[in-house]
Structure 1
Amino acid sequence: MDAESGIFDYEVGLSSVPSGLMPDILQFSSTKSHPTFLTYHPNLGEGVEFYIVIKAINRASLITFELVGPVIVEVTPPEFDGEIIVALESDGLESSYLVARWDQDAFFDDDELDPLEDYQVAEKLKATHLLCHTCLYQR
C-alpha cells in the first residue's frame, strides 16, 4: 500500500472460508469512505462461523486485503449480577470524568469461553457511532 496516498475507501465482504479474496456469503460492499459498516444477512444465525474480509483502496488505486475471523454469531447478551457505582472524579487539573466501577465478576456470559474484558459506550441505543473503546483492567 502506498502510505502517501491515504485510504480512499473500504469495501467489506463476508466469507465462509478463510481465503477471503472472493467473499461467498456477502460480496464486497463499499463503505463509501465511512469508518463504519452495517449490514444484515438472513443466513447468519446463531452459531454460524464466518470471516470478515476488508479491502482497503488508496487514492493511487492500490488494494490491500485483511481477513478477520473466524467470527461466530452469538446473540445472548451477557448477564450482570452486582452493583455499579458511578462517581464524578477529577484529574486534579481542569478535567472531570464520569467513572463507573463494578466487581470484576459482575458481568458474565455462560456461552463465552473467555472472560468479558471490554465494553463500548454509545450515545444512544443501537447507535452505530460508538464512543472510544476502552479495555478493562484490574487495578
Structure 2
Amino acid sequence: MILPTRICRARFAAADRAVLATTGSDLRPHLVPVTFTLTDDVVVVAVDHKPKTTRNLRRLRNLTENPKATLLVDHYSPDWTHLWWIRADCTAAVVPTHPTDGLAAKYPQYAETSPAGPFIVAHVDHWTGWSAS
C-alpha cells in the first residue's frame, strides 16, 4: 500500500539510520548508511568522528558534482506483512558547519562528541513510501 506523505515523514524521522545514495559525474551509484535528523522536509547528515581514512569522502564529492540524492529507510521482518520502506528524493548541498542540537538529541554519541562536519543538508523534493499492510 502506498503511504501518505505525513506517514512517510513520521516513519523516516523515527528511523535510527538511513542509506544515502549519491552519484557523481561518473554516474556510478554510491550508497552509505548515515545518521540524520529530519525537520519538516530538511534532512541533516553529519560527517562525524567515527573512523574514516579521509574527510574527502566520495559522498561529499558526488554531491558537489551532482546535488541530487536519495535517502532510504526501511523495516524488514520475517513476517512480510510488517515490511515497509520510505524514500526521500532530495536536492542536497555540503556545508562546512551546521547546528548539531538535533543530532545530539537523537544520538547520545553526538552529545558526548559533537560532529565537526562537514554536513549534508538535503531538501526533500518528493516522498515515496510503501507498506505491506
TM-score above 0.5: no
- Specify which structure has the higher proportion of helix: 2
TM-score w.r.t. length of structure 2: 0.34
Question: Which structure has more RCO (C-alpha within 8 Å, separation ≥ 6)?
Answer: 2
Who wins on radius of gyration, i.e. which is larger?
1
